[in-house]
Structure 1
Amino acid sequence: MRRATVTRTTGETDIAVTLDLDGTGVVDVRTGVGFFDHMLDAFGRHGLFDLTVRCVGDLDVDAHHTVEDTGIVIGACIREALGDKAGVARFSQCLVPMDEALVLACVDLSGRGELFWDVPIPVPSIGTFDSQLAHEFFAGLARDAGATLHMRELAGENGHHIVEAAFKAAGRALRFACGPDPRVTGVPSTKGTL
């Protein structure tokens, strides 16, 4: 089974995540940050990941540590659940529209985790959610998953729509990159490792 549970405790957050790459999109998330929970629900449902997240963070400071550290732990779950990556598609992309917003996510499970982000969000906050935290989540996820992740906003005016399209696009792109390719034998790399 391509499933992992990772816990991480720091002076700022206490997080436990369980992720099944071959799930059906059953999501149970509690971070204490309402909009972020909504985004993680969209990420899991559209990625068809079974995802459980429990996070207690220093929300008396702000949501930064909660959001970034959750991205780190979800990324670590993805890396662990993939194992040696034998038989995976490795590359994928998804373009998601949400009303006027249009966001592209491209993934390479390269082992070299980095985010390339060009998603301007026209408002400083969405409800009480600091818009900059979307970048922090995906940076942590990409780094710890060992995935090169490019995200581009091609259109958009409404901050909620833009961020939600980004989470859905990333979920779907990861779904297909992590998915099995029946024509691939071994690890899809000329180096023999990812």
Structure 2
Amino acid sequence: MSEGKRSAFIERKTKETAIAVQLDLDGSGSAEVNTGIAFFDHMLTLFAVHGFFDLTIRAQGDLDVDGHHTVEDVGICLGQAFSRALGDRAGIRRYGQASVPMDEALAQAVVDLPNRPYLVLQTPALVERVGAFETELLPEFFRAFCVHAGATLHLHVPYGDNTHHMLEAVFKACGRALDQATSVDPRRTGVPSSKGIL
């Protein structure tokens, strides 16, 4: 495993958003998140708590338009933070998976960190909004994250009735799966690939 603390700071400023993300992969699950979208803050907090990531996110966006730019750009920055914190990815387990229930809903997350982005997201029909969060932005967030983290991520909700419950289970499962995938395997001395590079 490469030496040094596995952490990263990412800052992104556009005409639409201003975002700062601080990430420590080997944290305790401490989260301070403020995106201006309370439900999104709640989901990102759960992601960090259950993934044991220390995460600080400060985002200001054009919420008077809608939440799209803010949610997508947070995904970009969070993905970049993961990629930077992982470095050359030597020594990591690379794969992770988790299933998380939330009352009547179940979410499954399976992740690979091969530096090849891909997202599969399957859920039952969701209501249009939970609080101020537009649920059509769910794939936008995770797609942006995958592209910039170099992650292949499969998220599946086989059943559920309550949209809040389904999304909460998704973010928790994703955090737990990424905790596994980013963790250090003491048996691994190099990059986890037969190619010798990720």
TM-score range, shorter chain: over 0.9
Deviation at 1:47, TM superposition (A): 0.5
Offset of residue 121 of structure 1 = 3.8
Larger mean Cα displacement after TM superposition, 152-161 or 118-127: 118-127
Instruction: Identify the residue that residue 78 of structure 1 maps to in structure 2.
Output: 82
Identity of aligned residues (%): 55
RMSD over aligned CA atoms reads: 0.8
TM-score (norm 1): 0.98
Give 1:114's aligned residue: 118
Indicate the residue corresponding to 1:95 in structure 2. Answer: 99
Note if contact 1:121-1:131 (Cα within 8 Å) is conserved in structure 2.
Answer: no
Partner Cα separation in structure 1 for residue 182 and residue 27 of structure 2? 12
Is structure 2 residue 197 aligned with structure 1 residue 193? yes
**Aligned equivalent of 1:23:** 27
Corresponding residue for 2:42? Answer: 38
> TM-score by structure 2 length?
0.96
Number of the residue aligned with 1:7 = 11
Give, in whole Å, the separation in 2 of the partners of 1:155 and 1:149. Answer: 19
SS of corresponding position for 1:132: helix
CA distance in 2, matches of 1:119, 1:175: 22
Alpha-carbon distance in structure 2 between the residues aligned to 1:15 and 1:130: 19
The CA deviation at 1:168 is 0.5
More deviation in 125-134 or 29-38? 125-134
Deviates more, 1:133-142 or 1:11-20: 133-142
Gaps of 5+ in 2: none
Identify unmatched segments of 5+ residues in structure 1: none
CA distance in 1, matches of 2:39, 2:176: 19
CA-CA distance at 1:128 after TM superposition: 2.1
Q: Shift of residue 157 of structure 1?
A: 0.5
Aligned residues: 194
User: 1:111 touches 1:147 (CA, 8 Å); kept in 2?
Assistant: yes
Runs of 4+ in 1 over 6 A off after TM superposition: none
| 1:134 positional shift | 1.5
Selected match of 1:134 from 113, 131, 138? 138
